[in-house]
A and B are shown apart, each in its own frame.
Chain A
Amino acid sequence: MKRIFLIGIFALLTLTVVLIWSKSYYAEQEEAYVELPAETEIHLIPSEMGVFERASFANDYEAIGNDFKGGRSLDTYYENRAFHGAPPSIPHPITDELSMGDKSCLKCHENGGFVAKFNSYTPVVPHPEKVNCRQCHVAQNTTSLFKETSAGGFPKPSIGNAEFIGSPPIIPHQIQLHENCLACHAGPSAPKEIRVTHPERTNCRQCHVVNNKGMTDIGVFIRKK
């Protein structure tokens, strides 16, 4: 009995050895492979970065429809900025003077929405990744001037600049820091003159191109031989 028991144990041990050995043998056969950490690639192109950013809201914008009443007009849009592309000043009281680099402003300005207190829709920021908002956006604490100036009345990008009847208007303004078209051209806070009739298309620059690559008018293509 005892002998059978010992033989049994021995057989078990042999079996284990064979098993372990074979397992390690096969493990050895496998090609050693260590996944290398992927090279840090910049997967974003700054000038193109925001292009599709708000595309996920496109269907909601579409649902709002074209005959949506209310919202801003271009007039009020330009009321609190010096010229197109200048950072708009903050037209409302600010909750916390010390909030810097956090999401205080983004709470409302990331996605917009109606604010009963001001009876208006919150404008959507086209560059939510820049959180040091008040680097550029300042409050207006007085209406008087230090000295009189002749500045003002800067030209504004024109609307309705299509080449043809029904052809897509060109983009009449520079787009640095506002690459994301839908932020200003769709949704309830979009000025009604420039609100797009087809926000669901999302790939805006398929049809609308920027025409101010140079600082001066580059004219038409003339062959240089």
Chain B
Amino acid sequence: MEQKIIDRRSFIKKMAALAAMTAAASMFPGIIFGYEQEAGIPKGGNIDWKKGPCRFCGVGCGILVGVENGKAVAVKGDPNSEVNKGLLCVKGYHQTICIQAKDRLTHALVKKNGSYVKTPIKEALDIVAKKMKQTIEKHGKDSVAMYTSGQSTIPEGYVASKFMKGAIGTNNLDCNARLCMASAVTGFLTSFGADEPMGCYEDIDYADYFVTWGNNMAEMHPVLFSRMLEQKNNRGAKIIDFATRTTRSSMASNKSILFEPQTDLAVANAICYEIINNGWVNKSFVEKHCRFSKGKIKMGYGLEDNYNFKDEPQSIDFESFKKFLKDYTPEKVSKYSKVSVKDIKYLANIYGNPNNKVVSFWCMGMNQHTRGTWMNNLVYNIHLLTGKISIPGNGPFSLTGQPSACGTAREVGTFTHKLPKGVVTEEKDRKLAAKIWKVPYERIPSKPTYHATEMFRAVDRGEIKFIWIQATNPLVSLPKTSRYRPALKKDSCFVVVSDVFPTPTSDVADVILPASWHIEKGGLYGNSERRTQYWKKMVEGPGDSMPDAWMFIEVAKRMGYGKLFPYTRENHVEEIYNEYRQFHVGPKHEMAPLDVLEKQSGVIWPYVNGKSTQWRFNAKYDPACKNGEDFHFYGNDDGKAVIWQRPFEPAPEMPDKDYPFWLNTGRVIEHWHTGSMTRRIPVLHKAMPHSYVELHPEDAKKYGIANGQKVKVSSRRGSCTLPASINERGLPTRGQVFVPFFDENMLINDVTLDAFCPISKEPDYKKCAVKIEKA
């Protein structure tokens, strides 16, 4: 009631002001009340604007945070940032509001007799160090594990890697980027021998066509989508949306083409067939810069524990590649992909026409795929066959979902097989790491251990007795959480969670450590276009909260590794980054020095002779090209990119009589990943208060389901009840349902399948079979 009175009063006040303004306007025609549009905005006093990257997605927008009296009071886009040029999305603008949430973790919590006891952080770190040490003594190095994040900063990832691999000597380190970018990494490595995109966002300014492969950019990478729309309106560039579901992106595109889940493999091959069949191959480019290979087929789907796979590449020639493609004529593919022959030819024509500049964008649609590596390879094939690569406005572009999946997870290497440079299986890479870390080289094990999914399976099996989870929320984000939640609750494993907010993951922790949020610490992030961004601490964190990197260092010191971590609390970010830079010396990956990063709104590596390298492998732009030709794919020893023969194979679980629907999961614009931050921002929560299940109107009609009615979605693994959403945000095809995964109260990952790509080990969240019923 009180709320109402206030509303009424403020309304009358506005009316009164309006009346006076109208009266003034009649006395002085042309009078301007400059604040008409901004009425109600708090008066800005002495705001200090501090530069940094956005906390959320992998686009890596530059932000300016307004700080007044030690408090973040505003956020705006950094006009100097080449990424976003002053624009942000709704999440970006409101990001700093989350730290004021009332349930913020401010003190360490230690579980004693089943309930959490507030504990001074020093004691909590003592407990963690003691427990970790005891576990190693009792069960060996490989009984402890760490699971970090693509949201960890570069120094955090670096310290985690040095701590686990260099100090303790175990490869039990993996991160949530395994769930989102692993297939992109293996795609790059198999095709080019070097990770991360060759082009940059500036490609958008030159391209004639944007083909988005299973990627709802209007909601997931909105700032880049805005840049595309600008080109569409100003230059007539065209956007082609190739997806399994109609979305906001489809509607803003020039053309929307829908395909049956998993058949993107076949359509990509059909495009290659058409390109070759019509003589659109860029012969001189392919002859000079490409070779052909094939790998193992029928690899399986990793559904069983301890599943192992190793690809065996075999060289082939162009003729056998051509012969292989005969199974992928548009006519044949059209039958099972549900894409018309006309549309396949249309797509092929876009790529094939030598006068078109084409950029392909993709993200989770292609990566979270049981044949994710193959799918990445296939899109590279299209660009390589036509020579549309590493040229301004021409290129394949793999987008990232986390702010530092590139910078931290992929470059620093917080994966089980990775080192800050290279992989653990290579002796020279281990030697380099040992030298810089100043540890005996024998200490770094040469064999990778658990990838993300297998790590939690190992917890379930009781092999891992101690796990430290940092800056991520696996009990919402893992596939098949119905298995991994009980696993983490088991007494056999001691669980440490460092986070900013309580989450379903911290609920099962034995020790909860309060982490500093983004602007409460300094750090570095690396975005999708190889841009490294640096920020300094802007505000003080509450209570005992501590930067994640410093927690690792404190624990390492307590375990007797202090000598390896000689950093200071105030300057550890800078000290660690300077140490890390030594790994990437040389024109192929040189990182910019801190003083440059401090001045500029991000710098693209390789940073050579004071310049960002915007297009790698192109001799015009990339000083690392050494073969005297126009292009040099120096990631591979022979300087050539690989065109892979990768067939179509069906998904592990397909709709059948008992479970007749495809289940697709994903995100919405308002919430970011598991929503632990965005749901604590009132503007965003009110815009999207809970998850839902999207149905095709005809399916809804068949089941008699009305909008908003509760629907139970169940698979062979678990079920989840959500309100139906018909004709709202998106429109799945008939026989498909879509559910956003941000909602911890409606855990759709209890339903999903933990099948993964055998090469990348990245799970497929986009395809499994479910049934629906009215709940």
Contacts and interface: CB of A to CB of B under 8 A. Distances in A.
A binds B: yes
Interface of A: 31, 33, 35, 38-39, 41-49, 51-52, 55-56, 58-59, 69, 74-75, 155-156, 158-168, 170, 192-194, 197, 200-203, 205-214, 217-218, 220-225
A193 B35 CA distance: 10
A200 B734 CA distance: 35
B87 to A, nearest CB: 7
A33 B331 contact: yes
Contacts of A39: 338, 734
Contacts of B88: 207
B251 A44 contact: yes
A210 B3 CA distance: 20
15 contacts: A31-B331, A35-B342, A41-B258, A43-B251, A45-B727, A47-B728, A158-B40, A163-B97, A164-B94, A165-B42, A165-B73, A166-B66, A203-B225, A206-B89, A218-B685
A78 to B, nearest CB: 10
B251 A223 contact: no
Given A45-B728, A163-B94, A200-B233, A205 B669 contact: yes
A166 B226 CA distance: 19
Nearest to B341: A35
Interface residues of B, number: 81
Interface string B317-351: 00000000000010110100010111000000000
A202 B341 CA distance: 33
Contacts of B329: 31
Nearest to A170: B683
Interface string B32-70: 000011111110100100000000000000000010000
Interface stretch (B191-199, B378-386, B542-550, B686-694): B686-694
A166 to B, nearest CB: 5
Nearest to A220: B682
Interface string B144-183: 0000000000000000000000000000000000000000
B240 interface: no
B398 to A, nearest CB: 22
Given A41-B733, A43-B256, A45-B729, 12 more contacts: A45-B731, A59-B233, A75-B22, A158-B10, A160-B40, A193-B37, A207-B90, A207-B93, A209-B687, A220-B680, A221-B689, A223-B502
A218 B341 contact: no
Contact of B76 (A49, A166, A206): A166
B699 to A, nearest CB: 12
Nearest to A194: B37
Closest 6 CB pairs of A and B: A160-B40, A209-B687, A206-B222, A221-B679, A165-B74, A211-B686
B18 interface: yes
B75 interface: yes
Contacts of A163: 93-94, 97, 682-683
A167 B40 contact: no
Contacts, number: 187
B14 A158 contact: yes
A62 to B, nearest CB: 9
Contact of B683 (A35, A74, A209): A209
A203 B731 contact: no
Contacts of B44: 165
Given A43-B256, A158-B40, A206-B225, A218 B94 contact: no
A159 B103 CA distance: 31
Contacts of B730: 45, 48
A46 B683 contact: no
Contact of A203 (B11, B39, B47, B222): B222
B670 interface: yes
B263 interface: no
A218 B502 contact: no
A75 B18 contact: yes
Given A47-B728, A206-B226, A218-B685, A201 B679 contact: no
Contacts of A75: 18, 22
B304 interface: no
Contacts of B686: 170, 211-213, 218
A206 B683 contact: no
A46 B40 contact: no
A114 to B, nearest CB: 19
Nearest to B725: A47
A202 B41 CA distance: 24
B507 interface: yes
Contact of B47 (A165, A200, A208): A165
B229 interface: yes
A163 B686 CA distance: 13
B700 to A, nearest CB: 12
Nearest to A196: B37
A55 B685 contact: no
Contacts of A223: 103, 502, 744
B82 interface: no
Given A160-B40, A165-B73, A170-B683, A51 B90 contact: no
Nearest to B334: A35
B27 to A, nearest CB: 16
